[in-house]
């Protein structure tokens, strides 16, 4: 035990002596949260819009006002011809153009045309939906008496304001934990191999399992500091609530951190240089998390093969569990499946990497 | 009891035989030089003796313990200094000493006494709080050797311990080795510097995985009718068919 403690102490020296890396590790969650919270956002806000109003009656003017007043759109200009409208599109000045037909108010089955720039299909879909909703609402107000159409009442559960933060905060947690635990652990172990100190340790009476544990513990603690940073920032800065049990949230995070540590350990048995370790963690871990964890792109829309592949990305299960606990406020029972899968992954990875680590002796 | 006893020790990697049926014995307190060109199999042989690698066949006992079954006991009775640098550059001198002392289970009192003693012998008292990275290579190597024997092992294995330093610094390093040997520590050292070979009690020369010669430096020089170890080594190494 004394051996072990002197060894853990050494790992902390390594981390804190390398001030630059430590700063990066501590600041990274802050930067990611601010970036995702304020800069990189998929929310629609003040999108430039142009209106081609061929009728200019009371109704279309009201609709124009409504569009102008909405926080989603900003009126770029009123155009007088299709040609002008298309020119604006080509120059990229506007993303949406609303066309009102002549004599709109007096024509019973007249229709409003909404043109959207679909180079970004997701944005275009959202813009059209918002635009139609605003127009439909105005129309309903005007024709309230005559309208017999069924109007659906929608309620957005868990995230009524449709804030992006509710989605990316769990994503960033998944990303940071992998980054610290897997990447830094693998680099730390491979560094000892590269420097030749690993041999000296293996010749010593220190058990290999202690060497591994001593490497993992400091990064586990560091990653918990990061989780705390993320939760504090998202709670106070981005107003993301923590609806469920904090203890449960932290427990799931520790479990996921352990899975990440095992991944890092596995990588360290494969990689021979620090660069290789960094590259493998970058490509084999970061990319799947960004693309296949559901953090940025919905998994449901992916081809079957990618959906299958996404099942083996630990971050996917962690992010689901975090959303369930943090955003929906669900109890432990509801994330049993995710916890089970993550635990299974941890066991398999521990088995694989300890086996591989032994072979190296 | 012999310090090291090796009989027909062999290590194969697939079809490649890195170490081919070598046999030798090392007496307690002896300084045994393990020579060979790069790729001759010295490091592989040494790794087997340290318990880092399991032999394919043959027998070996280190400090009386069997390399197959008792590697844990071997580890407690040996010290090891690797070819690459064995200390942590981002740790201070005394932190390195404390770390390795701690790994070998030294008590607090033993540690502080050993640390003072060691820094005194090496003349490093002023550098106690210096990061090891900023020490000159020769000092690092001496410190590294002293740390490798901090727990007074029965045998210390040195894998090309003086790579990259000048003959004067090597000579100083060897004074430490002599002191350790005088205290009864058996020294097993690989090298390809022939001036170092002269310092050993006995040397073995490995060529292509086999031990081609084993005797005291003076006897070897007599047998090969030359005046220096360099010519002995070249006469043998010329037969090598393995490249690097």
| Domain spans, chain A | 2-40+163-359, 47-142
The chain A residue lying nearest B91, using CA atoms, is: A13
Q: What is the pLDDT of residue A361?
A: 46
pLDDT at A59: 83
Q: Of the candidates A109, A128, A108, A110, which has an alpha carbon nearest to the alpha carbon of residue A118?
A: A128
Contacts 24+ apart (CB under 8 A), A210-217: A210/A3, A210/A4, A210/A7, A211/A7, A212/A265, A212/A354, A212/A357, A213/A4, A214/A4, A214/A7, A214/A8, A214/A10, A214/A11, A215/A11, A215/A185, A215/A188, A215/A189, A216/A181, A216/A185, A216/A261, A216/A264, A216/A265, A217/A8, A217/A11
- The predicted pLDDT at position A19 comes to 87
- In CATH terms, the superfamily for domain B4-237 is P-loop containing nucleotide triphosphate hydrolases (3.40.50.300)
Nearest by CB to B90, from A14, A200, A206: name it: A14
The answer, for A8 touching chain B at a CB cutoff of 8 Å, is: no
pLDDT at A145: 47
The C-alpha atoms of residue A330 and residue A249 are separated, in whole angstroms, by 11
pLDDT given at position A247: 94
For an interface test with B, which of A6, A200, A218, A272 has the most B Cβ atoms less than 10 Å from its Cβ?
A: A200
pLDDT reading at B2 higher than 50: yes
pLDDT tens digits, A226-253: 999 999 998 998 888 889 899 999 999 9
Distance CA A61, CA A53 (A): 8
The series of mean pLDDT values per 10 residues for chain A, 361 residues long, is 84 89 88 80 79 86 87 87 86 88 80 85 83 82 57 71 79 88 90 87 86 88 91 89 91 94 90 90 84 80 86 91 91 91 93 74 46
For tokens 């002008």, name the residue.
A84
| Contact between chains at B103 and A3 (C-beta distance less than 8 A) | yes
pLDDT by residue (tens digit) across B28-68? 999 999 998 888 889 899 999 998 889 999 999 999 999 99
User: What is the distance between the alpha carbons of residues A68 and A53, in angstroms, rounded to a whole number?
Assistant: 14
Q: What is the tens place of the pLDDT at every residue in B99-140?
A: 999 888 888 899 999 999 999 989 898 999 999 999 999 899
- Minimum Cα–Cα distance from A198: chain B residue: B86
CB-CB under 8 Å, B84 with A2: no
- Chain A CB contacts of B85 under 8 Å are 195-197
Coil, strand or helix at B16: strand
Q: Are strands B202-207 and A96-100 parallel, antiparallel or unpaired?
A: unpaired
Whether chain B has a CB inside 8 Å of the CB on A17: the answer is yes
The answer to whether the CB atoms of B91 and A197 lie below 8 A apart is no
Give the confidence band of B227 by pLDDT, cuts at 50, 70, 90: confident
Shortest distance between the Cα of B226 and any Cα of chain A, in A, equals 37
Minimum-distance CB partner of B103 among A7, A18, A199: A7
Is 0.80 surpassed by the pTM of this model?
no
State how far residue B184 is from chain A, nearest Cα, in angstroms. Answer: 20
Which residue of chain A has the CA closest to B83? A196
CATH number of this structure's domain A47-142:
3.40.1710.10
Residues of A in contact with B88 (CB under 8 A): 10, 13-14, 197
Q: Is A15 on the interface with B (CB under 8 A)?
A: no
Q: Which residue of B has its CA nearest to A210?
A: B103
C-alpha distances in Å from residue A19, one per residue of A25, A264, A278, B235: 10, 22, 19, 53
Residue B91 reports pLDDT greater than 90 = yes
A50 close to A77: Cβ distance less than 8 angstroms: yes
- What is the enclosing helix (H) or strand (E) of A114? strand A113-116
Any CB–CB contact under 8 A between A337 and chain B? no
CB B189 within 8 A of CB B17: no
Collapse the DSSP code of A241 into the 3-class scheme (helix H, G, I; strand E, B; otherwise coil) and give the result. Answer: coil
Nearest CA in chain A to B105: A3
The pair of three-digit structure tokens given for residue A197, joined into one six-digit string: 């100190």
Distance from the B223 Cα atom to the nearest Cα atom in chain A, whole angstroms: 37
Chain B interface, mutation test: which of A5, A6, A188, most B Cβ atoms within 10 Å? A6
CB contact A202 to B (< 8 Å) = yes
- What are the sequence ranges of the domains in chain B? 4-237
Closest residue in B to A13 (Cα–Cα): B91
Chain B residues with CB under 8 Å of A14 CB are 88, 90-91
Q: CB of A196 within 8 Å of any CB in chain B? A: yes
């Amino acid at each position: 035990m004394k051996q072990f403690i002197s060894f853990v102490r050494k790992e902390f020296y390594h981390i804190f002596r390398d001030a630059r890396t430590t700063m990066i590790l501590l600041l990274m969650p802050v930067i990611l949260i601010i970036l995702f919270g304020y800069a990189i956002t998929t929310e629609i806000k003040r999108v430039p819009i142009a209106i081609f109003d061929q009728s200019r009656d009371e109704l279309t003017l009201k609709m124009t006002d409504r569009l102008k007043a909405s926080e989603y759109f900003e009126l770029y200009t009123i155009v007088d011809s299709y040609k002008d409208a298309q020119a604006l599109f080509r120059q990229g000045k506007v993303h949406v153009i609303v066309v009102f037909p002549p004599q709109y108010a007096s024509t019973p089955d007249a229709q409003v045309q909404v043109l959207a720039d679909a180079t970004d299909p997701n944005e275009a879909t959202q813009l059209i939906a918002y635009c139609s909703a605003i127009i439909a609402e105005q129309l309903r107000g005007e024709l309230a008496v005559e309208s017999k159409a069924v109007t659906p009442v929608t309620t957005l559960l868990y995230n009524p304001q449709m804030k992006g933060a509710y989605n990316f905060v769990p994503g960033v947690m998944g990303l940071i934990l992998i980054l610290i635990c897997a990447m830094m652990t693998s680099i730390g172990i491979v560094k000892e191999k590269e420097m030749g100190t690993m041999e000296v340790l293996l010749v010593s009476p220190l058990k290999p399992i202690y060497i591994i544990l001593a490497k993992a513990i400091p990064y586990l603690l560091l990653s918990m500091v990061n989780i705390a940073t993320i939760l504090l920032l998202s709670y106070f800065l981005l107003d993301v609530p923590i609806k469920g049990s904090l203890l449960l949230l932290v427990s799931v995070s520790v479990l996921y951190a352990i899975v990440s540590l095992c991944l890092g350990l596995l990588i360290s048995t494969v990689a021979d240089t620090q660069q290789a370790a960094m590259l493998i963690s970058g490509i084999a871990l970061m990319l799947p998390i960004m693309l296949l964890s559901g953090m940025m792109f919905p998994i449901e829309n992916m081809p079957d093969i990618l959906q299958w592949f996404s099942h083996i990305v630990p971050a996917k299960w962690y992010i689901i569990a975090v959303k369930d606990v943090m955003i929906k406020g669900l109890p432990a029972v509801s994330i049993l499946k995710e916890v089970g899968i993550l635990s299974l992954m941890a066991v398999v990875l521990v088995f694989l990497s300890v086996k591989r680590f032994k072979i190296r002796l | 009891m012999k310090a090291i006893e090796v009989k027909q020790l062999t290590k194969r990697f697939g079809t490649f035989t890195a170490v081919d049926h070598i046999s030798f014995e090392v007496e307690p307190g002896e300084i045994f030089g393990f020579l060979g060109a790069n790729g001759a199999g010295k490091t592989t042989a040494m790794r087997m003796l340290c318990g880092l690698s399991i032999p394919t066949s043959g027998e070996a006992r280190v400090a009386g313990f069997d390399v197959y079954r008792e590697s844990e006991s071997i580890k407690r009775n040996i010290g090891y200094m690797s070819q690459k640098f064995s200390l942590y550059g981002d740790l201070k001198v005394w932190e390195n000493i404390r770390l390795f002392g701690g790994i070998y289970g030294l008590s607090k009192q033993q540690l502080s006494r050993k640390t003072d003693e060691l820094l005194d012998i090496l003349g490093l008292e002023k550098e106690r709080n210096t990061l090891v990275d900023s020490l000159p290579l020769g000092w690092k190597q001496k410190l590294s050797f002293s740390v490798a024997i901090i727990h007074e092992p029965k045998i210390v294995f040195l894998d090309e311990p003086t790579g990259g330093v000048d003959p004067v610094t090597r000579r100083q390093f060897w004074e430490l080795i002599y002191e350790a040997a005088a205290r009864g520590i058996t020294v097993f050292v690989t090298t390809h510097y022939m001036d170092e070979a002269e310092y050993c009690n006995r040397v073995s020369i490995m060529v292509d995985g086999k031990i081609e010669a084993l005797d005291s430096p003076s006897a070897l020089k007599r047998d090969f009718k030359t005046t220096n170890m360099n010519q002995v080594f070249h006469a043998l190494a010329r037969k090598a068919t393995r490249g690097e």
